[in-house]
């Protein structure tokens, strides 16, 4: 099955998780971005504003892969302000008509509560039910092990 893993990352954790998923599943890997430098304290504040205002409009996938040539797309994104980040939401909205039938979400967050309800709600942007979702805690947790659990479920699908 030809798979593409997509990720947005601010501090590298979602990237690391998606690299692991891509390596374990033989998938291609690409980063998506809104082109803004969101590093450091000012970047953090900007990310909060972008979330609250839902103001991310421009999002592109580096290398511009042809989404239609894939059987499966796995989208990684961090949580910002109690929900999947604005850039991930903008990506899903922009590319929903180009996504294959099988779309999965991998959402990373520091806190212990999972975000499954809000992750499933991404389907309203996708316009169809996603095939699977995972909410991965990244602080004080073996998040690579958790991502391995997701890969195992994926392989049984």
Ligand X SMILES: Cc1cc2nc3c(=O)[nH]c(=O)nc-3n(C[C@H](O)[C@H](O)[C@H](O)COP(=O)(O)O)c2cc1C
| CB nearer ligand X, residue 38 or residue 72 | 38
Instruction: For the beta carbon of residue 41, count every other beta carbon within 10 angstroms.
Output: 7
**CB of residue 69 vs ligand X: minimum separation in angstroms?**
26
Q: Please tell me the number of Cα atoms within 13 Å of 49 on its side-chain side.
A: 8
* Residue 21 makes contact with ligand X by CB under 6 A: no
Q: Whole-number minimum distance, CB 6 to ligand X, in Å?
A: 12
Of 56-64, 103-111, 121-129, 147-155, which segment contacts ligand X by CB under 6 A?
A: 103-111
Using CB under 6 A as the binding rule, whether residue 110 contacts ligand X is answered as yes
b/e 87-124 (16+ beta carbons within 10 angstroms → b) = bbbbbbbbbeeebbebbbbbbbbeeeebbeeebeebbe
User: Which residue's CB is nearer to ligand X, number 1 or number 121?
Assistant: 121
Closest CA to 25 of 92, 88, 85, 106: 106
Cα–Cα distance between 150 and 135 in angstroms, integer? Answer: 10
Show the binding pattern over residues 70-99: x = contacts ligand X (CB under 6 A), - = does not.
--------xxxxx-----------------
Q: Which residues bind ligand X (CB under 6 A)?
A: 9-15, 44, 47-48, 78-82, 108-111, 138
């Amino acid at each position: 099955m030809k798979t593409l893993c997509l990720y947005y990352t601010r501090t590298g954790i979602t990237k690391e998780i998606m690299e692991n998923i891509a390596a374990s599943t033989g998938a291609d890997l690409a980063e998506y971005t809104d082109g803004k430098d969101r590093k450091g304290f000012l970047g953090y504040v900007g990310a909060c504003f972008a979330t609250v205002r839902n103001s991310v409009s421009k999002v592109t996938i580096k290398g511009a892969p042809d989404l239609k040539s894939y059987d499966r797309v796995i989208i990684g994104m961090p949580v910002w302000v109690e929900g999947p980040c604005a850039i991930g939401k903008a990506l899903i909205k922009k590319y929903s008509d180009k996504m294959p039938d099988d779309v999965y979400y991998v959402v990373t967050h520091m806190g212990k509560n999972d975000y499954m309800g809000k992750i499933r709600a991404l389907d309203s942007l996708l316009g169809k039910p996603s095939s699977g979702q995972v909410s991965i805690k990244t602080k004080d947790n073996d998040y690579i092990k958790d991502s391995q659990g997701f890969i195992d479920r994926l392989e049984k699908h």
